[in-house]
Amino acid sequence: MQSLPHDAKARTFRRILMAGVAVAGLGSFLAASGLTPLATANAAAPKKVSVALILSTYINPYWIYMHKATEAEARKLGVDLTFQAGQTEGDTSSQITAIDNAIAAGDQGIIIRANGPAANSALRQAEKAGITVLAVDTVPTPADIVKMTYATDNYLAGQLIGRYTLHRLDGKHAEIAMLDDVTNEVLTVDVDRDHGFLNGLGIPVGKPNINGFEPKSGHYAEGKGGTYSVGCQLPTHGDPSGGQTAMETCLVKDPNINVVYAINEPSAQGAVRALQAAHKRAIVVTIDGSCANLSYIKLGSIAATAGQYPGKMGEIALDAIYNNITKGTPFSPTPGLNYYNTGTEIYSDQPVTGVPSITADKAAAICWGS
């Protein structure tokens, strides 16, 4: 190796000495601050948040829109969002697998609309694994199985369309078809909407927390209105084909049906097809608030719907879980409730006195989907 001249050696020594002083000074600063170079690097690095979104199905437009809105919010926040769903509205086994996948992947958060209490055990395992779990659309049973729920008051939504129906009937006899979601799972949203509708119409529900036990005939409006009969009650699985099949069966059982309650807009639209094919007319009421349903409202084939905001639910839930994980921000329910209420509003082009509503044209500014 070739040796350096004397002046070059001196310059090299001075550089080494100055570098050593700089390192020593940095070390003293970090020691005084209680930090290390590694800790400083870690503190500066942004915290990556990973969240699993687990919804009811892949096919219902309501869930499709919630997924798209939540995904767009995840891109804005830089959240790593994965998405899975059940195959049908009552499919909890696929959701349990999705929860297990989130645990295995080390996700920090889960946002779920559970298809039933059968998923509760898996959600408890997720909590034990340190995952923050939120619900959307429906408060689960029990409510504290999750940290917070972001949802519409489904019971109130049912009440509003029940009251609307009460005013539309104006004392006339009601021959009712109840088109629910499922029969093999007790879904909170299914019961809340169904029982809310019956309550709004002034019919006792029979048994709390389960559908189908209301008196099958009597007087609505708590005895002050006209007479009623429940001519048919069937599941639709929340989709158009299920709604159409259920309505066709109901019309065979009771051709005089003149009131149709449907769990959601896809099932209501299927019911409308069955009514039109049979050349029958009925007061059809439902819940959801999609833009795609406004044409039915304008035509009057669906008399009223209680508009909800699935995109808003997903966005607010994701913001909440992100802020909790990154900043420790606590979850806050709407005052007086055990969940965060994202609101509802009646859309109808056939308004009635006593039930505030907006027209389809006005609803176009706030509806979801396209």
**% pLDDT > 70, the chain:** 87
Q: How confident is the model at residue 370 (pLDDT cuts 50, 70, 90)?
A: confident
Q: Is residue 103 part of a domain?
A: yes
For residue 62, pLDDT over 60 is answered with: yes
Do 191 and 278 share a domain, yes or no? yes
Query: Count of CB atoms within 10 A of residue 264's CB?
Result: 27
Do 212 and 295 share a domain, yes or no? yes
**Residue 242, amino acid:** G
Q: Is residue 234 part of a domain?
A: yes
Do 326 and 264 share a domain, yes or no? no
Do 321 and 290 share a domain, yes or no? no
Do 187 and 287 share a domain, yes or no? yes
Per-residue pLDDT tens digits for 94-139: 999 999 999 999 999 999 999 989 999 999 999 999 999 999 999 9
Do 266 and 120 share a domain, yes or no? no
Do 208 and 289 share a domain, yes or no? yes
Do 129 and 56 share a domain, yes or no? yes
Q: Give the burial class of 8: count Cβ atoms within 10 A of its Cβ; 0-12 exposed, 13-18 middle, 19 or more buried.
A: exposed
Mean pLDDT of 141-159: 95
pLDDT confidence of residue 42: 42
For residue 46, pLDDT over 70 is answered with: no
Q: Which residues of 33-72 are buried (b: 16+ CB within 10 A; e: fewer)?
A: eeeeeeeeeeeeeeeebbbbbbbbbebbbbbbbbbbbbee
Do 108 and 118 share a domain, yes or no? yes
Do 147 and 219 share a domain, yes or no? no
Q: Is residue 239 part of a domain?
A: yes
d(CA 264, CA 261): 9
For residue 349, pLDDT over 50 is answered with: yes
pLDDT confidence of residue 11: 42
Q: How confident is the model at residue 186 (pLDDT cuts 50, 70, 90)?
A: confident
**% pLDDT > 90, the chain:** 81
Per-residue pLDDT tens digits for 83-92: 999 998 889 9
Do 128 and 197 share a domain, yes or no? no
Number of domains in the chain: 2
* Structural domain span for residue 65: 50-152+311-332
Phi-psi region of 86 (alpha: psi -120 to 50; beta: other; left: phi over 0): beta
Q: How confident is the model at residue 47 (pLDDT cuts 50, 70, 90)?
A: low
Q: Is residue 337 part of a domain?
A: no
CATH value at residue 188 = 3.40.50.2300
- How many residues are listed for the chain in this entry? 370
pLDDT confidence of residue 48: 85
Q: Is residue 236 part of a domain?
A: yes
Q: Is residue 37 part of a domain?
A: no
For residue 10, pLDDT over 80 is answered with: no
Do 202 and 351 share a domain, yes or no? yes
Q: Is residue 369 part of a domain?
A: no
Q: Is residue 26 part of a domain?
A: no
Q: Give the burial class of 128: count Cβ atoms within 10 A of its Cβ; 0-12 exposed, 13-18 middle, 19 or more buried.
A: exposed
Per-residue pLDDT tens digits for 205-248: 999 989 999 999 999 997 788 999 999 999 999 999 999 999 99
